[in-house]
């Protein structure tokens, strides 16, 4: 019996040791990065926002790509591909129900909810010097009125926070999850940002602009996988969704399931680069569900269907969490 008991304990101890090593590695990673100067101001804004929306669920949506600077006085940087379409569109559809407040953590100058619809707005405006007024083209007036109305109606349910660099994104994400942890299952994380997998440690970074007087050789380090401690420690009771983008459709499901097994979160939304605007696969530990729209449709965005689906899943998750807590009592 003693040997059997020892055999059961050993893997648990090994797993705990592995987690401790991983947390230590992540802490050392954060220690070498520069903390955003406005981090505590962001935390205070987010705290007030959450307090104003205590009667609602909270979804933290991340959007856009992170940059990795190549110099301390940054001129050159490596950027991750993302216009922020999925994240910014999804914000609007979470407002279709009155049940959610949204914290939108997005790349500065990437697409934003509501304003994303009017990239060519100036070409639809005309100045009337006689009456000293600006006139809006009749072609876009109905859509503009509709979107402005929705934007004004939901302004108290939207908090926008910007990032540019990888370090800014990770520091802010960690601060926000610490703030959201007490809200438990009412919190959803919708992690649509394109986060860098590699970075240049500050000690290895040039101070000033790298000159182009010869070949350039750079050495990148791997960014520690933040999702595992986020799921296990930062917000252990939240409904966490990650996104998986691949350029090869054949490995998409495999990579999504690998992520679920490795990090232990609830849902991966998998999409292939060339079809991402009209086809996604929602992958859980038990099943996968495909959502697809007509690629030629101008009336429907796939984010509308994605958000409706994850809201249903979140509601079920909250019910299960409540039931488990009642059984513990």
Helices 2-32, 166-180: axis angle to 10 degrees equals: 130
pLDDT, residue 131, reads 84
pLDDT at 256 over 60: yes
pLDDT interval class at 254 (50, 70, 90): very high
pLDDT at 16 over 90: no
3-state secondary structure of 231: helix
pLDDT, residue 258, reads 95
User: Per residue in 80-125, pLDDT tens?
Assistant: 889 999 999 999 999 998 999 999 999 999 999 999 998 877 777 8
% of the chain exceeding 90 in pLDDT: 67
pLDDT interval class at 11 (50, 70, 90): low
pLDDT, residue 104, reads 99
pLDDT at 280 over 80: yes
pTM for the model stands at 0.90
**In this structure, what is the dihedral angle of CA atoms 80, 85, 91, 92, given to the nearest 10 degrees?**
170
% of the chain exceeding 70 in pLDDT: 94
pLDDT at 14 over 70: no
Report the C-alpha gap between 52 and 244 in whole angstroms.
33
Who has greater pLDDT, 239 or 25? 239
Q: Mean pLDDT across the chain, nearest whole number?
A: 91
pLDDT at 304 over 70: yes
**In this structure, what is the dihedral angle of CA atoms 220, 222, 224, 227, given to the nearest 10 degrees?**
110
User: Per residue in 43-61, pLDDT tens?
Assistant: 999 999 999 999 999 999 9
- Average pLDDT in the 183-197 region? 97
pLDDT at 2 over 90: no
Top mean pLDDT of 127-136, 156-165, 217-226 is at 156-165
pLDDT at 5 over 60: no
* 55 beta partners: none
> Which residue is associated with the tokens 């004004």?
152
pLDDT at 289 over 70: yes
- Average pLDDT in the 19-48 region? 92
Report the C-alpha gap between 233 and 317 in whole angstroms.
18
Alpha-carbon Rg for the chain in angstroms: 22
Report the C-alpha gap between 232 and 26 in whole angstroms.
14
């Amino acid at each position: 019996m003693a040997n059997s008991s020892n055999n059961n304990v050993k893997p648990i101890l090994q797993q705990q040791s592995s987690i401790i090593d991983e947390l230590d590695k992540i802490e050392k990673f954060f220690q070498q990065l520069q903390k955003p100067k406005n981090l505590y101001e962001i935390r205070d804004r987010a705290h007030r926002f959450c307090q104003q929306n205590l009667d609602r669920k909270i979804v933290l949506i991340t959007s856009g790509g992170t940059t990795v600077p190549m110099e301390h006085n940054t001129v050159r940087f490596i950027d991750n591909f993302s216009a922020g379409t999925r994240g910014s569109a999804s914000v609007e559809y979470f407002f279709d129900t009155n049940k959610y407040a949204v914290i939108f953590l997005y790349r500065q100058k990437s697409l934003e909810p509501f304003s994303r619809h009017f990239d060519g707005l100036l070409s639809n405006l005309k100045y009337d010097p006689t009456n000293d007024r600006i006139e809006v083209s009749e072609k876009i007036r109905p859509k503009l009125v509709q979107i402005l109305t929705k934007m004004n109606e939901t302004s108290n349910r939207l908090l926008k926070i910007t990032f540019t660099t990888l370090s800014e994104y990770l520091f802010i994400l960690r601060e926000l999850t610490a703030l959201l942890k007490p809200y438990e299952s009412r919190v959803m994380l919708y992690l649509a940002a394109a986060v860098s997998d590699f970075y240049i440690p500050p000690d290895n970074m040039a101070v000033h602009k790298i000159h182009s007087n010869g070949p350039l050789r750079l050495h990148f380090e791997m960014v520690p996988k933040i999702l595992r401690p986020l799921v296990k420690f930062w917000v252990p009771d939240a409904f966490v969704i990650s996104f998986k983008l691949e350029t090869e459709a054949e490995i998409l499901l495999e990579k999504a399931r690998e992520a679920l097994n490795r990090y232990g979160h609830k849902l991966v939304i998998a999409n292939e680069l060339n079809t991402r605007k009209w086809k996604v696969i929602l992958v859980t530990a038990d099943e996968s569900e495909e959502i697809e729209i007509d690629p030629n449709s101008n009336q429907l965005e796939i984010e509308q269907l994605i958000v409706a689906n994850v809201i249903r899943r979140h509601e079920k998750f909250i019910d299960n969490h409540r039931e488990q807590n009642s059984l513990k009592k």
